[in-house]
Structure 1
Amino acid sequence: MIAAAMGWIGTVGSISAYVLLSRGRWHAQSLRYSALNGVAGVLAASASAVYGAWPSVTSNLLWSLIAAQAAYTELRRRHVARLAAVVTPLPTLQHDPEPPTGPQPVLVSAA
């Protein structure tokens, strides 16, 4: 009974994520989409394992791993963007680092 409920919750979660994506409510790289797909995949895989449906277990676990990788990629992208926003360029000096050329003033000693 519990396994069947987990399987149905996983199935409804997976389909809900797809519907929200298809209707433009969620973006494919959103953390919500990845989280719902990941949890749905684990629930469906657990229910399938109880019933001994090993191909379904494998596909659902792969589904969850893909969702986890997508979430990790999005979190990493956000982290890099946050770091780039914090870094401010240093002011540059507006002078010529080359020594002057041409006639130079000469000091004459008064002797």
Structure 2
Amino acid sequence: MEVGVVPDHNTMTDVSNTFVRNSAIDGLPNPVSSLDREARVLRYREKRKNRKFEKTIRYASRKAYAETRPRIKGRFAKRTENDMGDSLVASDASYGVVPSF
């Protein structure tokens, strides 16, 4: 059986007196100067002006693959065994055309 050592009252006060309060350690925000805040707000406003909500195609290969996949009512459908053989021949003729049922 091991016995732990309990520090007496004097050693604890020595440790607590050496503690220095630091706002970065406590998680409290540091005060920001007015010039720094103004620069951050201006940068936010500039980035907000440049936002784009249009649809952008990032990968041309994914687009090409999606255009060749069979669709039913605009949604992707599984290929059947008949489609597997015809896909090589029909892919050139109907490239980019979405069938409507």
TM-score, scaled to structure 1: 0.22
| Larger RCO, structure (CA 8 Å, separation 6 or more) | 1
